[in-house]
Structure 1
């Protein structure tokens, strides 16, 4: 830390950069790695730890859908950096001053809270569309209104294209309202709900795997069009690093001081068992193309989706480079076979294609090196060397079995 006055000369540069951060025309599609990075991030200056992986995922999602987002955020790390006292890191774009609508729920009922956000705006939108339908059937409907309404209905379930169609339709609705149409006035009362919204539920593994799992399972089973993003740090990060059902074999956490014995819960496969839930495991630093693709597919899927993102945390105690190398640690996790990248897309099944895609390869033999680069594992070596050797070997064995199982799923879903 240095005196604030000594840094004052940098303020004009900072102000210039902030004022000029906006969407740039890249020539690439928004749902590609390059294209997405030309969009203005609608998450900035968060209260996270330096190098936090969670903010990387959240920022990317705002670059893809931020202008149309509702976010229900479970209490935990993501609500602390996402809504620290008196400020919000979520912002609006420079053009239309639109950005994410964010709300923080209790730890245990976040999925239900986000579910309510989806249902509430859905009902209001359907009421407005019903009035539009009545206007379209009226003898007074102009050709311009009918054309705009048809385009709106064509794009009704597409978050990207429906916005412009909605703007064009509202121009005609305002004309009808000025002419005295009561249905048009009713539509204008709900116009903020008319464009397609992207509803997201954010939370960590303590919420998704453990305390909020019952509600999460209920919401995924509902079939409603919600998107769940799980920041998987493999422990309760916000409260000091307690073991969760996402913690892995041999990991030293609070309540698992001698190393966790049971393997990690397969939340992804629990969700896949429904058959109509989009599911993906991603690691942004390991494969950004797969991450962007899965997030875009999940949002476009007209039903529930679950994305689990591997999120290195400062409580992992990364030895080489620390959290400065967070993204590199994701690469190592995938390369060693510690974390697997895959997706399950029910829409592909309906199209006669294999819905299960396994992106990552078999571990390259660096599994033990990966474990020994993080103090959450090496803390076990000195006090319990024999136990550490046994649990680390078991962890690698389970990882190999898991990959073989995923390979079988590729064949099973063909």
Structure 2
């Protein structure tokens, strides 16, 4: 069954060979989303690493199937990607509303077989698999119909199967430069899926610190270690109450990753998925070939927690990771150059104070999650 982790990997990937760094922590998420929804995806991709490895002309990691179906992808700017994807969703909604209007207003005028197809399409209520089974019949029936009023449907042939709208980008976009637009989209009730590939640093532009960077991490503009805490984008989004929110780390829990992505896409409203994505800028010991194991260790020690917030449930918040083993926290930090070099820069005592702050920040985030769950 393709609903399982193993079974999902028998689905065709519509994202295959990218130009990303070997072992990139972002691309496995992109590949998985394309396997689940690639035939019907409309993607607005923020400028950054994911934009570069998706659009290095003349190559592209995206592929179509034998029916010509596949990901429709575009990039606008760093600062307006959320609004760009929001516009895609609005435009799609307008077209879908017009399709239904034409069908419903002509049910008693069209030929019997076409009427039956129209009724089934309307009753499908946006179910893309049902729409796919009806598409050819509707197109054929419209072309053969003697009713002029339904001929307009011919220009909507490519829109008869609904679209899964995805807004994708890194933490530099989502936490910083594009945050105003992201917040605007979350504050609305439009059905869009936002995938944040969180590397905790501006990866594409040289490794600058972002609001997603952890305290004590070394990066450009934070050469002595970042003094302030990581922005908790997930809990900010949860405060709205109507937004689906999940934090995932594939190497820590593949089942939770798959479940969160599918739940987010099925939610009829704004969805935010924060995907922890180890990066070459982290300086992981042994290189990025270890990035999946690194994700598992990050969750084990409490560096990040896995959770899903689904407004459809009576108790919306589910914490999917176990109680953190806080005694392993510093061991995790010391496995990455962005942290372990701080002792050379600051000395043992000053560096330890900063490491303690990183841990305290993580504990505060986890405590806030537990309290929210209890509420």
Range into which the TM-score falls when normalised by the shorter chain: over 0.9
- What does residue 225 of structure 1 align with? 191
Question: What is the Cα deviation at residue 156 of structure 1?
Answer: 2.8
- CA contact 2:299–2:321 (8 Å) conserved in 1: yes
Q: 2:321 aligns with which of 360, 367, 371?
A: 360
Listed one character per residue, the Cα deviations across residues 259-288 of structure 1 (whole Å, up to 9, x for unaligned) are 111111111111111111110000011101
Partners in 1 of 2:224 and 2:68 — Cα distance? 51
SS where residue 280 of structure 1 aligns?
A: strand
Partners in 2 of 1:301 and 1:366 — Cα distance? 36
SS where residue 10 of structure 2 aligns?
A: coil
SS where residue 18 of structure 2 aligns?
A: coil
Partners in 2 of 1:172 and 1:45 — Cα distance? 36
- What does residue 235 of structure 2 align with? 269
Partners in 1 of 2:227 and 2:304 — Cα distance? 18
What are the within-5 Å matches in structure 2 for residues 9-158 of structure 1?
Answer: 28=1, 30-93=2-65, 95-136=66-107, 138-142=108-112, 144-158=113-127
Question: What is the Cα deviation at residue 240 of structure 1?
Answer: 0.9
1:164 counterpart = 2:132: yes
What are the within-5 Å matches in structure 2 for residues 281-296 of structure 1?
Answer: 281-296=247-262
Question: What is the Cα deviation at residue 402 of structure 1?
Answer: 1.9
Question: What is the Cα deviation at residue 85 of structure 1?
Answer: 2.2
- What does residue 382 of structure 1 align with? 344
- What does residue 373 of structure 1 align with? 335
Question: What is the Cα deviation at residue 404 of structure 1?
Answer: 2.0
Runs of 4+ with deviation above 6 angstroms: none
What are the within-5 Å matches in structure 2 for residues 248-267 of structure 1?
Answer: 248-267=214-233
Listed one character per residue, the Cα deviations across residues 317-365 of structure 1 (whole Å, up to 9, x for unaligned) are 001x2101111111011011101100111112xxxx2111000122222
Instruction: Flag the 1:174–1:250 CA change in 2: closer, same or farther, 3 A.
Output: same
Question: What is the Cα deviation at residue 214 of structure 1?
Answer: 0.2
- CA contact 2:109–2:147 (8 Å) conserved in 1: no
- TM-score normalized by the length of structure 2: 0.96
Partners in 2 of 1:46 and 1:176 — Cα distance? 40
Partners in 1 of 2:303 and 2:134 — Cα distance? 45
Q: Which ranges of structure 2 fall in alignment gaps of 5 or more residues? A: none
SS where residue 219 of structure 1 aligns?
A: helix
- CA contact 2:232–2:365 (8 Å) conserved in 1: no
- What does residue 396 of structure 1 align with? 359
Q: Which ranges of structure 1 fall in alignment gaps of 5 or more residues? A: 1-27
- TM-score normalized by the length of structure 1: 0.87
Moved more, 400-409 or 71-80: 400-409
- What does residue 303 of structure 1 align with? 269
Equivalenced residue count is: 373
Q: 1:216 aligns with which of 182, 189, 192?
A: 182
Question: What is the Cα deviation at residue 373 of structure 1?
Answer: 0.3
Listed one character per residue, the Cα deviations across residues 228-249 of structure 1 (whole Å, up to 9, x for unaligned) are 0000000100011101000001
SS where residue 288 of structure 2 aligns?
A: helix
Partners in 1 of 2:243 and 2:131 — Cα distance? 26
Question: What is the Cα deviation at residue 96 of structure 1?
Answer: 1.8
SS where residue 105 of structure 1 aligns?
A: coil
Partners in 1 of 2:331 and 2:76 — Cα distance? 39
Question: What is the Cα deviation at residue 139 of structure 1?
Answer: 4.2
